[in-house]
Amino acid sequence: MAIVYLEYNFKIKPLQPATDILIAELGDAGFESFVETDEGLLAYILKEEWKEGLLDDLFAMQHPDFEITWTNTEIEQQNWNAEWEKNFHPIQVGGRCMVRAPFHDPIHVEYDIVIEPKMSFGTGHHETTHMMLQHILDHKFEGKSVLDMGCGTGVLAILAMKKGATPVEAIDIDEWCVINSLENIERNDCASIQVEQGTSELLVGRKYDIILANINRNILLDDIPVYANCLNEGGALFLSGFYLQDLDAISLKCATHGLEFEKKLEKNNWVSAKYVN
């Protein structure tokens, strides 16, 4: 039985900051994947997750300074490739890492990562993924045990392993993300990465040197106590998926659980922060 998604085509004026706000809100509402366009945004949600009035109370939809209109259509999972191929261009991070699709020609970089995102989030194009990749490039990973929480395409786990991390685990709540991560892990010769479907409940009794979590503000605030308990002494927690205005709340929750803010990256009001114990 084919998995059916609803594709929402949003026309947005002005594009920013309305698009970023809408992506954050749609993510909280159950939308799984986003493609920014010249006129706005394509957003995807499982048909079975859709419910009447889903968009009615979103801040972005009600804001007097934003003009947002939309149409929607059904799209089967296997049709996603044609859509993202039209919009997916290779990116470089820090001059050292390239994230590209299988149909892109490689160039000489230290870390060449091939990602076929399908319906999963995390190609490196969104600011949060890009900044998390920057953090990984800047941090020592050799011989470190790593968790990629909310792994999406598995791109963060893949770069961590390419930098020498071992063992590496990846977890996502969404079945399709798990399947996609496994495909990308095999594609990048990182088959020893362990992928599981689930939530932070899986983490009881586990320990890591480094935890990567690019999710969203509310889930991070709920799960920071779990992450803190799972970090080995001298460990590092890298968080993203929230705005600059949320940083104080994230940092306060981390501090409450023995994690000290060390540094942050900012891009278009999105933030990725590093905490240590």
pTM of the model: 0.73
133 closest CA partner among 165, 104, 103, 98: 98
Q: Where are the domains of the chain?
A: 4-77, 82-276
What is the DSSP code (8-state) at residue 51?
-
| pLDDT grade for 239, boundaries at 50, 70 and 90 | very high
Based on C-alpha coordinates, what's the Rg of the chain? 18
Binding site feature residues for S-adenosyl-L-methionine: 129, 150, 172, 214
- CATH topology (fold) of 82-276: Rossmann fold (3.40.50)
- CATH topology (fold) of 4-77: Alpha-Beta Plaits (3.30.70)
Supply the pLDDT for residue 194. Answer: 98
Q: Cα separation of 228 and 231, whole Å? A: 5
Q: 3, 46 in Cβ contact below 8 A?
A: yes
The sign of the torsion formed by the CA atoms of 83, 46, 174, 179 equals negative
Mean predicted confidence (pLDDT) in 42-59: 90
Report whether pLDDT(123) > 90: no
Mean pLDDT of the chain: 90
Q: Which residues pair with 76 in a beta bridge?
A: 4
Residue 218 tokens read as: 């509310």
169 closest CA partner among 124, 220, 206, 216: 206
Mean predicted confidence (pLDDT) in 257-272: 95
Mean predicted confidence (pLDDT) in 244-265: 97
The neighbour count for residue 276, using CB atoms within 10 Å, is: 15
Supply the pLDDT for residue 69. Answer: 96
Binding site feature residues: 129, 150, 172, 214
Supply the pLDDT for residue 87. Answer: 64
| pLDDT grade for 118, boundaries at 50, 70 and 90 | low
Contacts of 15 (CB under 8 A, 6+ apart): 40
- In tens, the pLDDT along 61-104 reads 999 999 999 999 987 665 555 555 666 788 899 999 999 988 88
Phi, psi of 276 (to 5 degrees): -130, 160
Side chain identity, residue 115: I
Supply the pLDDT for residue 210. Answer: 98
